[in-house]
Amino acid sequence: MDWREEQNQSLVPVLSKKNNQSTEVNSTSFACKDIPNLLSSFVDTFVDFSVSGLFLPPPPPTMTSKPPTRLPSSPRLIAIGDLHGDFNKTKQALRLAGIIDSSDRYIGGSTTVVQVGDILDRGGRELKILYILEKLKREAARCGGRIITMNGNHEIMNVEGDFRYATKAGVKEFRVWLEWFRQGNMMKSLCHGLKPPKDPLEGIHVEFSGVRKKFHDGLSARVAALRPNGPISGRFLSHNATVLVVGDSIFVHGGLLPEHVTYGLEKINAEVSDWVKGSTVCRFPPPCCRGSNAVVWFKKFSENVEANCDFSILDHVLDMIPGVKRMIMGHKIQKNGINGVWDNKAIRIDVGMSKRCHGALPEVLEINETSGLRILTLYSHRIIYNRRKGKLLRDLMLESRKGLCCLV
């Protein structure tokens, strides 16, 4: 049964048949008790659709609000790099990975997808991406799959109120969101039985010095949406993982150091999640997300010149996490595309696909139980593994090439 049918059936009063007569069960209770909540749900759906153009299916009971830290290996694992507000490239990457069809419906089956953060900033359709990924998370959970989003440095910056990389289009998108959100709150306030909704701008007193006045409303909306326990941060970002182990791979936006592992991966995830939820009094992010050596900022394993990378530290980190063979990270643009170095112990997947970054064609990493590591590109899905150099190399399948060249 389709989830829409389930939802429609749940709105119909239950009828029971006894002695060939239909009697409505608890009709008075249904009208008095359930209508306010049904109205609230309807308004939320109306606002969501007005902002995103999407109807979100109800979350299945298997979904949890706690960010995952360790997951078992998956027969098919997909890793997607930084998206930075480019909605079209996001969908291209998902289609390239076989996660959505041409109508943006989930078709990934039991695949596990990890997006390593930096959905926000630089582009102008950040909310669109958050909404479609939330929709796909719910659809995937019903199909035995899983989609996990992670915190990047730009998620941390925005929750903290640092909007230096927000674009005009991004500011406008949040201003429009606030208009619809307030319309929804006004509709809820007319219903007796619902707690009067809180104005999202309540308690916000921010001066945007040096910014033209026409952008102030949009920036105020962005503060309201993304501050700790904001309507957008609490809903879409508080469940993000900051570090994640899936099978024999560990994912992080920037990089992990030995002190991070010693501190505790579960503790890092819990502290960042609590901060985004507004459960802590500190306005600043946890220490693991501050400074150049933070898990979302560290770049020493992603430098384009291998001589600048300290892989002895990487070896130490991987040795500290039982069963883990490789670290997969984003954050620093790899202008030559996804690549693996140091015998594929460090795999860098940020290709700068957003048009406001490098504007590269989408690429995604696939880890398959049968075919191993592959880079999926718009040119070809076939990758040659160079065992001698320990790198992932592309086979662009040029028309002049006949067959595959084996590099061993």
Separation CA 255–CA 296 (nearest Å): 7
Separation CA 33–CA 70 (nearest Å): 41
Query: What count of other Cβ atoms lies within 10 Å of the Cβ of residue 43?
Result: 19
Strands 383-386 and 391-394: antiparallel
Tokens representing 281 are 């009094």
Q: For residues 245 and 70, is the Cβ–Cβ distance under 8 A?
A: yes
Separation CA 290–CA 260 (nearest Å): 12
Q: For residues 146 and 65, is the Cβ–Cβ distance under 8 A?
A: no
Largest CA distance in the chain: 84
Tokens representing 196 are 């009067």
Separation CA 239–CA 251 (nearest Å): 16
CA 401 to chain centre: 38
DSSP string covering 43-78? HHHHHHHHHHS-PPPPPPTT--SSPPSEE---SEEE
DSSP string covering 127-171? HHHHHHHHHHHHHHHHTT-EEEEB--HHHHHHHHT--TT--HHHH
Q: For residues 256 and 268, is the Cβ–Cβ distance under 8 A?
A: no
Q: For residues 192 and 156, is the Cβ–Cβ distance under 8 A?
A: no
Separation CA 257–CA 273 (nearest Å): 20
Spatial CA neighbour of 121 closest among 169, 75, 74, 78: 169
Helices (H) and strands (E) in the chain, counts: 11, 15
Crossing angle for the helix pair 35-52 and 168-189, to the nearest 10 degrees: 160
**In a 3-state reduction of DSSP, which class is residue 394?**
strand
List, by residue number, the catalytic residues. 154
